[in-house]
């Protein structure tokens, strides 16, 4: 009898484990089963936080006048320290958010080198920050569980830089109605207004699209909105967590007197007749023309796609006439690089001969070459794609004064059109690794059932891992929101790779195709492969070789390969937002995908010498020691001193926790006391 039971139990266990085995169909949600898009305030609520306005910390003496006070400003270069407590994915996301600041504002973030005041980023319970520079030395900012999203990190750092929430502006009652009877009991303080005497909107109009605006359901009871926008169409706009809005940037740039950004170089949509200061080649050879449309195509530019009368220009090199080998040159104005690596991005349209070609050159200036020396960077292979605007990225590595030169080259084939260029962006940023363009996206949006996904082609990461993403255009289990999952796949280099795939961060970005890179509000999600992660049955490593933990599948091109389990989110982007901005342009959507080795982020950020020196001298605990995995060689004497000090500090910490809890009343996403990192 007993043996029968054992068999039964064993067979049940086997069934359970068989059911939870990893396959190419497995999809794990990083939002941990939450049916909706989890915002900062939901995360903090679950974490049991009751901060000011949900994610703001204030000290007891704060009179809520931060933004107006000069003393609350940081220098344009802000020192940071990333604590070991942070998840690797969070560290990667934070560094990406810093890159957005560098591209779009004059704010730069640099590793802490011992400056008096710095931002210490750690994994607390929830996402929160103080408002402005509190001049407290180490100022804490928490990026906790589920806070590892680009816009969430941008949001918290905007607090740190001096910004309140948008709907706490003095003039907010002109733009939104706060539904007080729908707000959770005791949460009214989250909807207080900061008066004109203490806060400034910097003469920028109220912005429903601000990354600092609450969503319509913030602190609500049930499902009814707690905020109603006076212009109804903005109901689904408020609460966006994609990227900085134009007004967010305008305000930040005004507050910090920004005139330039550190990595942006140029953006040109050719709308103006001066063609962004670009220079044509010498007279006598073929020319690029500033055109509105061309008989042989394109009919419209890419910037406006024919939607605006009298607007919509591009540069066109006609290859209808002339001879094989004819060239047309278009050179940019001069640029002065700081970083030595750039990403050039542009749209190219080929309506000419099949072998008409575009070459990208740089002209570099140094003492030996005062008139510049040309260097070929890349021949653009249009891959036989004709008669459509296509996006290209070219990586440059220029370290001196330079220009970019576009060279059109007429091929041997018959042509009824030519090459056209539009929406050029040049920045000192890293180019996206891969482009996945989903054509006819509008139709797919209308016809794809919920629960049906499409897979991208397979791509290869720089370190050799093969991967793909799957997208549920109309949701995985409920419509209204796109879902996305990242899968490792079998690839040509699998035998020489380390398995399980260690610490690689996948970026899945739906590109906002605004012509100016600074105004793009692309939607990003990042996930990181933790090699120690196990399957739910504990039998396999989640990111192991797809041949081991995946399924044999057939790709759209008929090729067979293994696809491992996927990780991503069912709330990637709500349809209301998907249809906003320029996510869909010309009926197509573009995903920018990459897989990057982030194992270097496992290393502890080095402490500044002064801090190490000071810590050894006075046994003050440095930031890296606040987490458990430290490796400082402290002498026995200092250890003894530390231990006795620790007892004192424990009492102080307990007192400050009690103090923090008491003082954290007013609102709820702002921190009240600096010392609550335990
Ligand atoms: Zn906030």
Tell me the pLDDT tens digit for each residue of 95-153: 999 999 999 999 999 999 999 999 999 999 999 999 999 999 999 999 999 999 999 99
Q: What phi and psi, each to the nearest 5 degrees, are found at residue 270?
A: 60, 25
State the pLDDT at residue 656.
39
Residue finishing a domain among 369, 394, 427: 427
State the pLDDT at residue 384.
74
DSSP 582: T
- Identify the CA nearest to 74 among candidates 110, 107, 113, 121: 107
Position 620 confidence tier, pLDDT thresholds 50, 70, 90? very low
Does residue 168 sit in the same domain as residue 67? yes
Does residue 491 sit in the same domain as residue 512? yes
How far are the Cα atoms of 4, 18, 541 from residue 15, in angstroms, in the given order?
Answer: 16, 5, 19
Exposed e or buried b per residue across 372-409, where buried means at least 16 C-beta atoms within 10 angstroms of its C-beta: beeeebeebebeeebebbbbbbbebebebebbbbbbbb
Which segment of 183-187, 225-229, 531-535, 596-600 scores lowest on mean pLDDT?
Answer: 183-187
* Ligand 1 centre distance from Cα of residue 157 (Å): 9
Q: By residue range, what is the domain housing residue 230?
A: 31-263+615-678
Does 675 score more than 60 pLDDT? no
Residue finishing a domain among 371, 399, 427: 427
Position 200 confidence tier, pLDDT thresholds 50, 70, 90? confident
Work out the number of other CB atoms within 10 angstroms of the CB of residue 644.
Answer: 10
We report the CATH number of the domain holding residue 217 as 3.40.390.10
How far apart, in whole angstroms, are the C-alpha atoms of residue 386 and residue 618?
A: 69
Does residue 398 sit in the same domain as residue 498? no
Position 14 confidence tier, pLDDT thresholds 50, 70, 90? very low
Residue finishing a domain among 401, 427, 453: 427
Position 371 confidence tier, pLDDT thresholds 50, 70, 90? very high
* Ligand 1 centre distance from Cα of residue 674 (Å): 16
Work out the number of other CB atoms within 10 angstroms of the CB of residue 442.
Answer: 14
Does 37 score more than 90 pLDDT? no
| 3-class DSSP assignment, residue 300 | coil
Alpha-carbon torsion, ordered 508, 511, 517, 518, to 10 deg: -80
- Identify the CA nearest to 475 among candidates 607, 551, 570: 570
Does residue 45 sit in the same domain as residue 177? yes
645 exposure class (CB count in 10 Å sphere: 0-12, 13-18, 19+): middle
* Ligand 1 centre distance from Cα of residue 54 (Å): 6
* Ligand 1 centre distance from Cα of residue 601 (Å): 26
Does residue 296 sit in the same domain as residue 408? yes
How far apart, in whole angstroms, are the C-alpha atoms of residue 343 and residue 403?
A: 13
Task: Give the pTM.
Answer: 0.87
How far apart, in whole angstroms, are the C-alpha atoms of residue 525 and residue 488?
A: 16
Position 376 confidence tier, pLDDT thresholds 50, 70, 90? very high
Q: Please report whether residue 2 resides in a domain.
A: no
> Is 156 an annotated catalytic residue?
yes
Determine which one of 156, 271, 596, 674 is catalytic.
156
We report the CATH number of the domain holding residue 302 as 2.60.120.200
* Ligand 1 centre distance from Cα of residue 129 (Å): 8
pLDDT digits (tens, 9 = 90+) for 539-548: 999 999 999 9
Q: Please report whether residue 6 resides in a domain.
A: no
- Identify the CA nearest to 150 among candidates 669, 561, 527: 527
* Ligand 1 centre distance from Cα of residue 73 (Å): 18
DSSP sequence for 67-126:
GG-GGGPPPSEEEEEE-TTS-HHHHHHHHHHHHHHHHHSS-EEEE--S-SSEEEEE--SS
pLDDT digits (tens, 9 = 90+) for 483-524: 999 999 999 999 999 999 999 999 999 999 999 999 999 999
* Ligand 1 centre distance from Cα of residue 127 (Å): 8
Does 41 score more than 90 pLDDT? no
State the pLDDT at residue 16.
41
Residue partners of 286: CB distance under 8 A and separation at least 6 = 317, 318, 322, 326, 327, 328, 408, 410
How far are the Cα atoms of 54, 172, 173, 276, 664 from residue 192, in angstroms, in the given order?
Answer: 12, 10, 11, 45, 15
* Ligand 1 centre distance from Cα of residue 189 (Å): 14
Does residue 250 sit in the same domain as residue 272? no
**Mean model confidence pLDDT for the chain:** 86
**Structurally, how many domains does the chain consist of?**
3
* Ligand 1 centre distance from Cα of residue 667 (Å): 11
Does residue 571 sit in the same domain as residue 662? no
Does residue 293 sit in the same domain as residue 235? no
How far apart, in whole angstroms, are the C-alpha atoms of residue 396 and residue 431?
A: 9
290 marked as binding residue: no
Q: Please report whether residue 404 resides in a domain.
A: yes
Does 216 score more than 90 pLDDT? yes
Contact criterion met (CB below 8 Å) for 106 and 256: yes
Q: Please report whether residue 131 resides in a domain.
A: yes
* Highest averaged pLDDT of the listed ranges 202-216, 217-231, 488-502: 488-502
Q: Please report whether residue 10 resides in a domain.
A: no
Q: Which residue has the tokens 């050719």?
A: 270
Does 183 score more than 60 pLDDT? yes
Does residue 199 sit in the same domain as residue 169? yes
Give the mean pLDDT of 40-50. 81
Does residue 87 sit in the same domain as residue 135? yes
Helix (H) or strand (E) holding 160: helix 150-161
How far apart, in whole angstroms, are the C-alpha atoms of residue 605 and residue 516?
A: 34
* Ligand 1 centre distance from Cα of residue 154 (Å): 10
524 marked as binding residue: no
Which comes out higher in pLDDT, residue 243 or 623?
243
* Ligand 1 centre distance from Cα of residue 151 (Å): 11
Q: Please report whether residue 650 resides in a domain.
A: yes
Q: Please report whether residue 607 resides in a domain.
A: no
Does residue 567 sit in the same domain as residue 661? no
Tokens of 593: 């995908």
Give the mean pLDDT of 228-256. 95
Does residue 372 sit in the same domain as residue 313? yes
We report the CATH number of the domain holding residue 496 as 2.60.210.10
State the pLDDT at residue 613.
62
165 marked as binding residue: yes
Q: Please report whether residue 9 resides in a domain.
A: no
* Ligand 1 centre distance from Cα of residue 212 (Å): 6
How far apart, in whole angstroms, are the C-alpha atoms of residue 329 and residue 408?
A: 7
Does 647 score more than 70 pLDDT? no
């Amino acid at each position: 009898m007993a043996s029968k039971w054992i068999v039964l139990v064993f067979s049940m266990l086997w069934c359970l484990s068989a059911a939870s085995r990893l396959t190419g169909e497995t999809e794990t949600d990083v939002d941990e089963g939450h049916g909706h898009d989890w915002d900062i305030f939901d995360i903090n609520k679950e974490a049991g936080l009751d901060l000011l306005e949900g994610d703001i910390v204030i000290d007891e003496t704060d009179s809520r006048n931060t933004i107006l006070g000069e003393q609350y400003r940081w220098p344009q270069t802000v020192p940071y320290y990333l604590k070991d407590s942070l998840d690797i994915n969070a560290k990667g996301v934070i560094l990406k958010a810093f890159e957005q600041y560098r591209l779009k504002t004059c704010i730069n973030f640099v590793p802490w080198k011992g400056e008096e005041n710095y931002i210490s980023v750690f994994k607390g319970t929830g996402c929160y920050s103080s408002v402005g520079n509190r001049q407290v030395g180490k100022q804490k900012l928490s990026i906790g569980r589920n806070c590892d999203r680009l816009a969430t990190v941008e949001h918290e750092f905007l607090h740190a830089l001096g910004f309140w929430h948008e709907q706490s502006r003095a003039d907010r009652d002109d733009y939104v109605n706060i539904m007080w009877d729908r707000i959770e009991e005791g949460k009214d303080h989250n909807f207080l207004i900061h008066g004109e005497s203490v806060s400034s909107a910097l003469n920028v109009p109220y912005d429903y699209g601000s990354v600092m605006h609450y969503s319509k359901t913030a602190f609500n009871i049930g499902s009814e909105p707690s905020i109603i926008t006076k212009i109804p169409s903005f109901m689904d706009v408020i609460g966006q967590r994609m990227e900085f809005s134009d007004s967010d940037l305008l305000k930040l740039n005004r507050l910090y007197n920004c005139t330039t950004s550190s990595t942006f170089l140029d953006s040109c949509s050719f709308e103006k007749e001066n063609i962004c200061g670009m220079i044509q080649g010498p007279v006598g050879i073929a020319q690029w023309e500033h055109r509105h449309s061309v008989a042989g195509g394109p009919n419209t530019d890419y910037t406006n796609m024919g939607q605006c009368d009298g607007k919509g220009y591009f540069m066109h090199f006609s290859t209808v006439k002339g001879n094989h080998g004819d060239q047309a040159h278009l050179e940019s104005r001069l640029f002065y690089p700081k970083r030595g690596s750039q990403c050039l991005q542009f749209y190219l349209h080929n309506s000419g001969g099949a072998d008409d070609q575009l070459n990208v050159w740089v002209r570099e200036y140094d003492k030996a070459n005062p008139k510049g020396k040309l260097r070929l960077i890349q021949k653009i292979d249009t891959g036989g794609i004709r008669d459509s605007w296509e996006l290209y990225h070219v990586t440059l590595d220029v370290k001196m004064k330079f220009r970019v030169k576009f060279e059109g080259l007429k091929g041997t084939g018959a042509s009824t059109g030519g090459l056209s260029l539009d929406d050029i962006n040049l920045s000192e940023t890293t180019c996206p690794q891969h482009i996945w363009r989903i054509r006819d996206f509008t139709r797919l949006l209308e016809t794809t059932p919920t629960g049906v996904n499409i897979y991208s082609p397979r791509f290869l990461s720089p370190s050799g891992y093969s991967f793909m993403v799957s997208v549920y255009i109309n949701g995985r289990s409920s419509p209204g929101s796109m879902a996305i999952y990242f899968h490792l796949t079998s690839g040509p280099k699998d035998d020489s790779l380390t398995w399980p795939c260690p610490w690689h961060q996948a970026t899945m970005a739906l590109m906002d195709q605004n012509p100016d890179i600074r105004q793009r509000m692309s939607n990003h999600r990042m996930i990181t492969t933790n090699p120690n992660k196990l399957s739910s049955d504990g039998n396999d490593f989640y990111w192991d070789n797809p041949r081991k933990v995946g399924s044999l599948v057939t790709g759209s091109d008929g090729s067979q390969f293994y696809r491992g389990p996927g990780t991503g989110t069912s709330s990637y982007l709500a349809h209301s937002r998907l249809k906003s901005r320029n996510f869909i342009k010309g009926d197509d959507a573009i995903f920018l995908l990459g897989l990057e080795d982030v194992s270097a982020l496992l290393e502890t950020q080095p402490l500044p010498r002064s801090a190490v020196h000071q810590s050894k001298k006075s046994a003050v605990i440095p930031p890296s020691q606040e987490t458990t995995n430290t490796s400082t060689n402290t002498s026995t004497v200092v250890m003894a001193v530390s231990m006795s000090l620790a007892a004192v500090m424990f009492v102080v910490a307990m007192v400050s926790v009690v103090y923090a809890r008491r003082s954290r009343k007013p609102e709820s996403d702002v921190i009240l006391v600096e010392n609550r990192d335990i």
